[in-house]
A = this chain, B = another copy of it.
Amino acid sequence: MGMSDTEIFKALADPTRRAILERLAGHEMTATDLREGFAITQPAMSQHLAVLRGAGLVSERREGRYAHYRVEPDGFAPLHDWLARYRQFWPSRIDNLKTLLKEMDQ
């Protein structure tokens, strides 16, 4: 578990890795299933998943020869906490309770 801010931001700075997270949101998936839709080789996918796992954004569940990956929600907490320190500077966006409640509901 790295979960340092730098590790997290670096992991998310790559568009492919963000797309992987997006595709992985909600349901578990194996590395090969994830690979469909990406113009990427198998080692590249494996390396991206290693980076995401190192940042604590994804976790792995081993089952036989398959590796099931899923989003690790707690991994996003450092990012949330970092961003929260800048919320106070947002002008008309966050001093609005309704906006926050709407975000929570979805």
Give Cα distance in the complex from A19 to B89, angstroms: 16
Main secondary structure of the interface of A (DSSP, over half): helix
- Separation of A77 and B84 alpha carbons in the complex (Å): 12
Q: Is the CB–CB distance between A90 and B104 below 8 Å?
A: no
Interface size of A by CB at 8 A reads 38
Complex Cα distance, B13 from A6, in Å, reads: 5
- Asked if B106 and A88 sit within 8 Å, CB to CB, the answer is yes
Which residues of A pack against B, CB within 8 Å?
Answer: 5-6, 9-10, 12-15, 18, 21-22, 25-26, 71, 73-74, 76-77, 79-80, 82-91, 93-95, 97, 100, 103-104, 106
Q: A25-B86, A100-B104 are in contact. List 16 more A-B contacts (CB 8 A).
A: A5-B15, A9-B9, A13-B13, A21-B86, A25-B85, A26-B89, A73-B91, A74-B93, A76-B89, A76-B90, A77-B90, A77-B93, A83-B83, A87-B103, A95-B104, A97-B104
